[in-house]
Amino acid sequence: MARVIRLTENELVGILSSFAKMFTNKDGKSDINVSDTSNEPETEDGSKESDSSSSSSKPIGKVSAKGQELLNNPIFKKKLKEISKAIHIDENSIIKLMKHESGLNPQIKNSIGCVGLIQFCPGGGMPKTINGKSYTLDEIRYDLEAQMDGIKEFWTKGYNNGKIKSPADLYLYNFFPVAAGKSDDFILQAKGLSATTVAKANPGFNKKLGKPVSSPLTVGDMKQYYQQTGMA
């Protein structure tokens, strides 16, 4: 049974290495077809997207009907305020990240088994304990309150460790925790996980930046990507 976990650096090394091997063909080219790293899905009911914003100043752009339903959910609004206050990041910046990761669908599950608003992924280790209860991935998909509390726990740890000081830091921490808070020339890599492997496993970033897919990604590159996509 899958267990709920947000990846540590060591777990990130393992899972990205596996993905790189899984989706790399004999010519060394990635078989992952990603033209845009956003995981935002099309609306299930075919409805048109509508503009939306919350109490914070930064606009979040188009939001699907499914996403608007979440934004209107009292539990989500309450927990969003708690998270924003805990990490000192405005609500709309948080919503933008969730939109980028999941299309604001807390029940979404991608092709590799990651679920929820910020994509909790399968991995080893102990079950994810939230408010004294252990959750599997499938359980957390359908418990919005627990999911939001899990997000708060994960991000608050980063904030308390000095890794989250701005929206760009939050986005980077959510994607590659070890790189958060580093200088712009820091290359996204870790022990057992080369910079090339990271880049090839996430081709959408370099494609958006107009660089070769295998080019090492830096913190500065990620900040540029967030600016170009309107996230930051």
Within-domain flag for 53: no
| Domain count across the chain | 1
pLDDT tens per residue across span 17-36: 444 434 334 333 333 222 23
60-114 residue pLDDT tens:
889 999 999 999 999 999 999 999 999 999 999 999 999 999 999 999 998 888 8
Tell me the pLDDT tens digit for each residue of 207-217: 999 999 999 99
Q: pLDDT band at 128, cuts 50/70/90?
A: confident
Indicate yes or no: pTM above 0.85. Answer: no
Distance CA 7, CA 178 (A): 11
Q: Is residue 3 part of a domain?
A: no
**Residue 214: inside a domain:** yes
Query: Among residues of the chain, what percentage have pLDDT more than 90?
Result: 59
pLDDT tier at 131 (50, 70, 90 boundaries)?
confident
* Confidence at 127, pLDDT banded by 50, 70, 90: low
Residue 182 lies in a domain: yes
Could you tell me if residue 2 is inside a domain?
Answer: no
Q: Is residue 82 part of a domain?
A: yes
DSSP string over 146-181: HHHHHHHHHHHHHHHTT--SSHHHHHHHHH-GGGTT
Let me know if residue 20 belongs to a domain. yes
Instruction: Identify the band that residue 172 occupies on the pLDDT scale cut at 50, 70 and 90.
Output: very high
Residue 1 falls within a domain, yes or no?
no
| Residues 185, 192 contacting (CB under 8 angstroms) | no
CA atoms of 115 and 122, how far apart (whole Å): 9
Compute the mean pLDDT over every residue in the chain, rounded to the nearest whole number. 80
Q: Which amino acid is at 24?
A: T
Helix, coil or strand: residue 133 = strand
pLDDT at residue 58 in the model: 67
For 21, the domain range is 9-33+58-228
